[in-house]
Amino acid sequence: MDTFTPPKNVSKICCIGAGYVGGPTMAVIADNCPDLKVTIVDVNKERIDAWNSKNLKNLPVFEPGLENIIERTRGKNLFFSSNVHYEIQIADIIFLCVNTPTKSNGLGAGKASDLKWIEICAREISTYAKGNTIVVEKSTVPVKTAEVLKNILNTKSNDKFFSVLSNPEFLAEGSAINDLQNPDRVLIGGEDQNSIKILSQIYSKWVDKNKIITTNVWSSELSKLSANAFLAQRISSINSISAICEKTGADIKEVSKSIGTDKRIGEKFLRSGPGFGGSCFQKDLLNLIYLCDFYNLPEVSQYWEGVIQINNWQKQRISRLVVEKLFGTLNGKKIAILGFAFKANTNDTRESPSIFICNDLLEEGANLHIHDPQVQETQIIQEFKDHSFNNPNKEGYGSWEFSKDIDKVIKDANAAIIVTEWDEYSSINWQEKEKIMSKPSWLFDTRLVSNSKSLEKTNITYWRLGNKINEDKNY
Ligand code: NAD
Ligand code: UGA
């Protein structure tokens, strides 16, 4: 590290990975730093083409506020390219925003993060970069990854030098632009103080200096995993309480509010639901569990395992309840699935609770009609394929279709299940929908967004997560 002299005039940034993190993060940097030229590269040509598409509705990532920023910056100081090697070669700073999913085979399969893509990037950077380059880990990685990166980067020649920083991303999908524009903190871990200063200066163009935290590289890497583990733990905690509410007559919203007013607990992240989804919580928890096992900390590892177990149980208990309430069989029954994204305001379906709930119901022979305002049918096909679900040849396995028309999905349905908290589901007029549903009709609201006033005026029997069921309906 002694030999590293940071680039004198930082003017070119390259980001490897044009996904949910790379795209929005770099767009916000470009927007706030007009003097920097930011280029996002990806091996996925289709994704790059989509980022370059004239029609902003075709961007590969849906995030409120993103289109406006892309419109302002694209072609001015923000570029999307497939020319990975060239952009690496000319960059002063390279951000790594590639995927780090859970390993599917080999050592640590099912727990450890697969660092294949990080390693490929490191090799490419080591080959194509010129001069002194700052390499920034933005992907979420296990502790000590920076060391692996440094080792690979420094193998090629003695006329190029690298400084590795850890700068994990804390944005949440659906609110990514706001999170990036007004972050709670920006975390930068590293050894080389000059490199840290350069990266801090970029963020300080729009982030208050007090919010820029600098640490050693290992603290930074572990803080990211820990933050996600704590957030996931809160969801499993409140979901475990939701089950007690259903047994006792307590109301989970009232309980969340009551405990959240305690400043030490805080009101955020206490919404009970069908379990956490998204590409990161489970992956990062598994990664943490793997680390604990690696360092022979079985008690700590079991503690975090519990968070995942409750999350899986929450999804399963919802599917079981639906089957039970529909007289123990779903064979030939039409069920409307409202929402396939893992949360509202995103088109991301990775690890969405909907995938698992749908599969459980298909296993029971249900005929699912799925609706989501932002998700495409091809994504659902891919998700079922990735999880080896949707086996139409299996005896008794149900069927599914997709529509963007809520009425079509609900018409003749025996039951509707709200799985994603999209705004449009909270404004559904159930008095109207009752007329087109099959009788007796059921609504299962796993997100507590349905309009209970409208529901009370109907003969639809409804179940709201974390509330005692009211089956007192006359047909
Ligand atoms: P993503 O899958 O949406 O995007 C990753 C992109 O990297 C893909 O388009 C892929 O083609 C590209 N890529 C992979 N290897 C490449 C290579 N060698 N050269 C060029 N391109 C390559 O993933 P994401 O959701 O953006 O997540 C990226 C990282 O950020 C992960 O480590 C994740 O844990 C972390 N993270 C994600 C979020 C989130 O909300 N999604 C938030 C914080 C952190
Ligand atoms: C999460 C973290 O919030 C981000 O800080 C982090 O950067 C990111 O993971 C990451 O590392 O990928 P994200 O997964 O995009 O962000 O979305 P969240 O808002 O955290 O929601 C995750 C899941 O938890 C969703 O399925 C959501 O519906 C669920 N959730 C969230 C609840 O069930 N209840 C809540 O109160 C909050």
Active site residue 137: no
Would you say how long the chain is, in residues?
475
CA 69 / ligand 1 centre spacing (Å): 20
Q: Is 81 in the pocket of ligand 1 (CB under 6 A)?
A: no
Counting ligand 1 atoms within 8 A of each CB, the residue from 39, 40, 41, 42 with the most, and so the one to mutate, is 42
Closest by Cα among 373, 366, 466, 474 to 428: 373
Closest by Cα among 102, 145, 103 to 121: 145
The residue whose CA is least distant from atom 21 of ligand 1 is: 42
pTM of the model: 0.95
Q: What is the pLDDT of residues 353-409, one digit of tens each?
A: 999 999 999 999 999 999 999 999 999 999 999 998 877 778 889 999 999 999 999
Cα–Cα distances in angstroms (integers) from residue 244 to residues 240, 249, 255, 344, 463, in the given order: 7, 8, 11, 26, 15
Give the distance, in angstroms, between the CA of residue 45 and the centroid of all CA atoms in the same chain. Answer: 22
The residue whose CA is least distant from atom 3 of ligand 2 is: 172
Active site residue 456: no
Q: Are strands 132-137 and 161-166 parallel, antiparallel or unpaired?
A: parallel
The residue whose CA is least distant from atom 14 of ligand 1 is: 98
Q: Is 172 in the pocket of ligand 2 (CB under 6 A)?
A: yes
Counting ligand 1 atoms within 8 A of each CB, the residue from 95, 99, 220 with the most, and so the one to mutate, is 99
User: Cα torsion for 455, 460, 463, 469, to the nearest 10°?
Assistant: 100
Q: Is 364 in the pocket of ligand 2 (CB under 6 A)?
A: no
8 Å CB contact between 375 and 340: yes
Closest by Cα among 16, 11, 167 to 77: 11
CA 99 / ligand 1 centre spacing (Å): 3
The residue whose CA is least distant from atom 13 of ligand 2 is: 172
Of all ligands present, the nearest one to the C-alpha of 97 is 1
Closest by Cα among 395, 390, 410, 391 to 450: 410
Q: What is the pLDDT of residues 254-309, one digit of tens each?
A: 999 999 999 999 999 999 999 999 999 999 999 999 999 999 999 999 999 999 99
Q: Is 84 in the pocket of ligand 1 (CB under 6 A)?
A: yes
Contacts of residue 176, Cβ cutoff 8 Å, sequence gap at least 6 = 20, 24, 63, 66
CA 460 / ligand 2 centre spacing (Å): 31
Q: Is 277 in the pocket of ligand 2 (CB under 6 A)?
A: yes
User: One of 121, 245, 280, 292 is an active-site residue; which one?
Assistant: 280
Structure tokens at 96: 């790594």
Beta pairing partners, 166: 137, 189
The residue whose CA is least distant from atom 1 of ligand 2 is: 172
- H/E element holding 368? strand 367-371
Burial class (CB within 10 angstroms; exposed 0-12, middle 13-18, buried 19+) of 300: middle
Q: How would you write the pLDDT of the chain (475 residues) with one tens digit per residue?
A: 456 888 888 999 999 999 999 999 999 999 999 999 999 999 999 999 999 999 999 999 999 999 999 999 999 999 999 999 999 999 999 999 999 999 989 988 999 999 999 999 999 999 999 989 999 999 999 888 999 999 999 876 778 899 999 999 999 999 999 999 999 999 999 999 999 999 999 999 999 999 999 999 999 999 999 999 999 999 999 999 999 999 999 999 999 999 999 999 999 999 999 999 999 999 999 999 999 999 999 999 999 999 999 999 999 999 999 999 999 999 999 999 999 999 999 999 999 999 999 999 999 999 999 999 999 999 999 999 999 887 777 888 999 999 999 999 999 999 999 999 999 999 999 999 999 999 999 999 999 999 888 899 999 999 999 998 866 664 4
